[in-house]
Amino acid sequence: MLPLLFLLGMCGAAFAEGEIVILQSPSSIEFQRKEQLPVSLIPEVYSAALGFSISQSSDWKGMKINDPFDYAKAVVSVTIPGLSHIDMAQGHSYPLDTDSPLEEIWSQMEWRVMERFSYTGNKSLVHINLDEGKEASQLQLGELNPEPTQLSVLKHLNPELEYDKAYLNQIALLNGIAKKVGEESVENDGSPDVVWFVVTGMHPLIDRYGLKSKQIVEAKQLLVATLQRLTEAYTKAYNSKVLVAAISSDAPHTRRYRRDAPTENVNELNLAEEYSDDFPVIFNIILWFGIAYAFVLLAVTLGISDMDPGRDSIIYRMTSNRMKKDN
């Protein structure tokens, strides 16, 4: 069973496509060559750009640091799950080896910043899922004014349809964020910033219309224009001392082994019982304690069975009718 699961996982990783596009980097950091980059190494690339010591070495040669005293002050990353390629002429593009979930990048960077700059709290860490809307974004960035796409620009996307409207709202929110960042100065608190945006609206659009449809072509054009605007805003805000990247991956399509069940028929699916997140921990504690206890009991049993029942042994004293003592 395990080899089969491993094979399925390898197949999913092999056929999943994605790319990372470096839209902006400080002059001290040079991106070159076009080598495939594993997703698991992106935190190392971001960490190196911020001047952090990296924890995982590799032979990837797509990045070169020319000045070790002039690092980026911030990393801005826009992820687009469900999309294989962004098709941007701007920046340096690298194909991805999707050996890890995209959200793992954010988790790693959040932990590394908090480990080094715990006094900053969450001021330097911004994680915004654009699907959560304006209110959720305002909690981290303050007052925002989304900039809706002009209807005259739209030829294939219909703002009256649910999926189209959701995607256009995310693009409008991202444009509003770009405008706000471009108009305000960034507070320098001595710690680097990590900003993470998730554009979830592209995924359902691809499921609905298909990757090569006119709607997706138009959606990608809107995304590219928004990414360029966002890059210009953050470049200005950080005086070019920022690394801006866009990451896309269609792993959610290639690794979809099961479909979501309709909610009204959940009781009819004979689903397995849900377990607590602590179940694996408790199971391992009980399992290995039981194994260790069995071996200890076996060792004690063998030791007692091989003991010489002399006058000084507990076997002699416990099996005697009365206590023996020397006169």
Helix axes of 214-237 and 202-209: crossing angle, nearest 10 degrees:
170
Residue pair 86/220 in contact (Cβ under 8 Å)? The answer is yes
Within-domain flag for 292: no
**In terms of DSSP bridges, do strands 92-97 and 37-38 run parallel, antiparallel, or are they unpaired?**
parallel
| Residues in Cβ contact with 248 at an 8 Å cutoff, skipping those fewer than 6 apart | 18, 19, 20, 79, 80, 81, 83, 84, 85, 86
Within-domain flag for 281: no
pLDDT of residue 129: 93
pLDDT by residue for the chain (327 residues), tens digit each? Answer: 434 434 434 444 444 589 999 999 999 999 987 889 999 999 999 999 999 988 777 788 889 999 888 899 999 999 999 998 898 888 899 999 988 899 999 999 999 998 888 766 567 899 999 988 888 788 788 888 888 888 888 999 999 999 999 999 999 999 999 999 988 877 777 789 999 999 999 999 999 999 899 999 999 999 999 999 999 999 999 999 999 999 999 876 554 433 343 444 445 556 667 767 788 889 999 999 999 999 999 998 888 777 666 656 666 666 655 555 554
Per residue in 59-88, is it b (16+ CB within 10 Å) or e — as a string? eeebbeeeeeeebbbbbbbbbbbbbbbbeb
pLDDT of residue 162: 92
Sheet with 18-24: strands ordered across: 37-38, 92-97, 18-24, 242-249, 74-81, 193-198, 125-129
Within-domain flag for 293: no
What is the reported pTM? 0.71
Within-domain flag for 296: no
Residue-range definition of the domain harbouring residue 107: 18-254
pLDDT of residue 190: 77
pLDDT of residue 191: 85
Within-domain flag for 48: yes
> Based on the structure, what is the number of domains in the chain?
1
Q: Distance between CA 143 and CA 146 in Å, rounded?
A: 10
Within-domain flag for 87: yes
| Distances 206 to 56, 79, 167, 203 between C-alpha atoms, Å | 35, 15, 11, 5
Per residue in 21-49, is it b (16+ CB within 10 Å) or e — as a string? bbbbbbebbebeeeeebbbbbbbbbbbbb
Within-domain flag for 304: no
Q: How far is CA 244 from the centre of its chain?
A: 17
pLDDT of residue 153: 85
pLDDT of residue 318: 63
pLDDT of residue 2: 37
pLDDT of residue 264: 45
pLDDT of residue 140: 80
Residue 19's φ and ψ, nearest 5 degrees, are: -155, 160
Within-domain flag for 313: no
Residue 166's φ and ψ, nearest 5 degrees, are: -60, -45
